[in-house]
Structure 1
Amino acid sequence: MEHTLIVAGIGPGGKDFILPKALTAIKRAHYLVGGHRALSDYASENQETYAVTGKLAPLAQWIKEALSKDDVVVMVSGDPGYYSLLPWLKKQFPECPLTVIPGISSVQAAYCALAQPWQGSEWLSFHGRVPDDDKLMFSEGRKLSFLTDGVHNPAFIAEYLMGKGWPGETPASACEHLSYENQHIVTSTLSEIAKLDGFEESVMVVG
């Protein structure tokens, strides 16, 4: 029988935010892949694990060898359909049966923490990339959300957007450690967020 690659979204991080279906797949896995924090939270002693780093070639080889023996579960933060390892896994293992279990994205968690609806919001990412200019130009009533990183943090993004014509008084929020006990949210304006330190791995909501 051909073994299956299972991609399980674990949500924004807090254990209360993972779907039962994903948790069941993780608990049943013999071969489990994930970030260091996810493995610390969910892996058990009887599982063979691989911690995801920036080096993907060794990860692909490990998964290939594991799939020859059993199913492999890959934990991804947030939802697998939103800037995760899913496209890379599909490219690396195009012939392998694939099951994807959804998770709550960090952007959803951010809007809920802000008690705001997100319909109509444009979901983009500054995590390891810069969106095209035409996706960042100001228009009245527009609402954007971003994943951020160490280089493109909310302060950088605020300055970048103001350079694209966004008024400094535009409402903006920076949200980090979503769903964890140390969740931290700053809600202000673009001009004030531009002065904000930190929030490297976070979600930013604008508009």
Structure 2
Amino acid sequence: MITVLGIGPGNSYLMLAGTQRYLEDATLVIGSKRQLSLFPQVASKQLLLPKLSVLRELLTTRLDDNVVLLASGDPLLYGIGTWAFHQFGRARVQVVPGISSIQYLFHQTGLSMNECYFTSSHGRVPDFDFLLMHDTIGMVTDDKIGPYEIAQAIVKRHQHRQVIVGEMLSYPEETITTYPAEAVEQRDYQMNVVIITNA
């Protein structure tokens, strides 16, 4: 069985109760370097996350084992849980939810998630004409289409929006900044998600 374990946005105090039980029962724990560093108590059964093609081959040989695949945030909100379901089917995969970084940012800013449209720019080009028809958008970003590129798409369409950028959410270095779209800086943003609202 593959357990895709949501571990929240980063800080251990935001992990859901029961996380430790899944780790203790696992024969193998797979995750990124950052994710694995949160669980030194299971260091002897950790494996650094490989490329997805390699991961698929590995998991195919371990379907009778109790493998935990760590997922930042919530595994089914633009996370690896969807990939696992597609590769192995629901009979061989269980997903344990976690608090997503988008959810966390909404709560930190006191904004309601009602009527929000959730999306991601990770590895793809969003349809900004469609997205910006919505009043509130929560977006997972990547290093190609991040806060600055999103803001430029807003400006290009002559909309007046606020862009809320959450960086390093739940970590000591957490930074949450609200910009008018035209003022978003062109710089590197660390582990960020974005909320777009009406100005």
Q: What is aligned with 2:9? A: 12
TM-score (norm 1): 0.87
Q: Could you say what the CA RMSD is over the residues aligned between the two structures, in angstroms?
A: 1.9
CA contact (8 A) 2:128 2:153 kept: no
Unaligned runs of 5+ in 1: none
Q: State the Cα deviation string for residues 157-199 of structure 1 (Å, max 9, x = none).
A: 10012223422xx222110100111101111211111x24221
Q: What is aligned with 1:130? A: 125
Q: What is aligned with 1:153? A: 146
Q: 2: CA distance between counterparts of 1:151 and 1:95?
A: 32
Q: 1: CA distance between counterparts of 2:98 and 2:82?
A: 16
CA contact (8 A) 2:24 2:42 kept: no
CA contact (8 A) 2:5 2:97 kept: yes
Q: What is aligned with 1:198? A: 188
- Per the alignment, do residues 117 and 128 of structure 1 end up closer, same or farther by CA in structure 2, a change over 3 Å counting? same
CA contact (8 A) 1:151 1:200 kept: no
Q: 2: CA distance between counterparts of 1:103 and 1:204?
A: 19
Q: 2: CA distance between counterparts of 1:166 and 1:187?
A: 16
Q: What is aligned with 1:173? A: 164
SS at 1:150 equivalent: coil
- Per the alignment, do residues 161 and 89 of structure 1 end up closer, same or farther by CA in structure 2, a change over 3 Å counting? same
- Which amino acid letter does the alignment assign opposite residue 58 of structure 2? W
Between 1:19-28 and 1:105-114, the stretch displaced more is 19-28
- Which amino acid letter does the alignment assign opposite residue 62 of structure 2? A
- Which amino acid letter does the alignment assign opposite residue 101 of structure 1? V
- Give 2:25's match in structure 1, choosing from 28, 47, 56: 28
Once superposed, which parts of structure 1, at least 4 consecutive aligned residues long, lie more than 3 Å away?
43-47
- Per the alignment, do residues 182 and 31 of structure 1 end up closer, same or farther by CA in structure 2, a change over 3 Å counting? same
CA contact (8 A) 1:10 1:78 kept: yes
- Which amino acid letter does the alignment assign opposite residue 148 of structure 2? A
CA contact (8 A) 1:136 1:161 kept: no
Q: 2: CA distance between counterparts of 1:149 and 1:103?
A: 20
TM-score (norm 2): 0.90
- Per the alignment, do residues 203 and 177 of structure 1 end up closer, same or farther by CA in structure 2, a change over 3 Å counting? same
- Which amino acid letter does the alignment assign opposite residue 25 of structure 2? R
Unaligned runs of 5+ in 2: none
